[in-house]
Amino acid sequence: MKRDEHGILNAELNHALASMGHTDTLIVTDAGFPIPQDAWRIDLALTRGVPGLYEVLEAIHGELIPETVTYADAVPENNPEMDERLQDLYGDTGTDLETIPHEDVLAHGSEAKAIVRTGAYVPWGNVIIQCGTDPKPFFDGDREVMPDSYQWRYEEMHGESP
């Protein structure tokens, strides 16, 4: 059994997260997202609302470094609770938050490395997470110089200079 009782226990979701590289995308969806036939589908849905969208996003956030989080542009006006929760989860982490038309969110299904289906019934409850990296481990040698753009990202992620 895994040592950390707070980490993700689902084997397939763990496998997908461990397989993600910089710029790969993971989509966490509500129960109604049209998942393409050939997509890597990780179906967590059990019953209506179980597991919830926000529970799954929080669990994934504990294990994956997001660079960009994208969701439907209808969310801020039509589902302000979701917008607030996404802002709370990702807003102070150096993650870029973007909105795009709902149809474009749906189109990303064919490009995602994996799609995680929840039991959520949340209007526009589909979130695209583009994976990032923590720059510090890549620049921790004596001879590497971290570019300013990476220093900024590190400071946003950790609240301190590298």
Residues noted as catalytic: 22
- What 3 state SS string does 2-36 have? CCCCCCCCCHHHHHHHHHCCCCCEEEEECCCCCCC
Which residues are bridge partners to 97 per DSSP?
A: 69
Q: Phi first, then psi: what are they for 57, rounded to 5°?
A: -60, -40
How many Å is the Cα radius of gyration of the chain?
Answer: 16
